[in-house]
Amino acid sequence: MSAPARQIEAAADQRILEHACEHLRRFGPKRTTILDIAEAAGMSHANVYRYFPSKLALFDAVTANWLAALEGQLRVIKEGPDPAYDKLERALSAIQKTYRAKLEADPALFKLLCDAIETNRVVARKHRNKIQGEVQAIVEEGINAGSFRMTDRRRAMALVFDLAHRFIQPISIALDRSIPAPDLAFRAGRAFAAIQRSLVYGDPDFDI
Tell me the pLDDT of the chain (208 aa) as tens digits.
Answer: 444 444 445 567 788 899 999 999 999 999 999 999 989 888 888 888 888 999 999 999 999 999 999 999 999 999 999 999 999 999 999 999 999 999 999 999 999 999 999 999 999 999 999 999 999 999 999 999 999 999 999 999 999 999 999 999 999 999 999 999 999 999 999 999 999 999 999 865 544 4
Say what the pLDDT of residue 5 is: 40
Superfamily of domain 63-201: Tetracycline Repressor, domain 2 (1.10.357.10)
DSSP the chain: --HHHHHHHHHHHHHHHHHHHHHHHHHHHHH--HHHHHHHHTS-HHHHHHH-SSHHHHHHHHHHHHHHHHHHHHHHHHHSSS-HHHHHHHHHHHHHHHHHHHHHH-HHHHHHHHHHHHTT-HHHHHHHHHHHHHHHHHHHHHHHHT--S---HHHHHHHHHHHHHHHH-HHHHHHTTTS-HHHHHHHHHHHHHHHHHHHHH--TT---
Say what the pLDDT of residue 4 is: 44
The topology under which CATH files domain 1-53 is Arc Repressor Mutant, subunit A (1.10.10)
| Number of neighbours of residue 3 by Cβ within 10 angstroms | 7
Side-chain-side CA neighbours of residue 162 (13 Å): 10
Say what the pLDDT of residue 21 is: 94
Say what the pLDDT of residue 133 is: 97
Say what the pLDDT of residue 41 is: 86
- Is 0.85 topped by the overall pTM? yes
Distance CA 141, CA 148 (A): 9
Identity of the amino acid at 38:
A
Per-position b or e across 68-86, b if 16+ CB within 10 A of its CB: eebbebbeebbeeeeebbe
Distance CA 118, CA 142 (A): 33
Domain with CATH 1.10.357.10 in the chain: 63-201
Domain with CATH 1.10.10.60 in the chain: 1-53
Say what the pLDDT of residue 9 is: 52
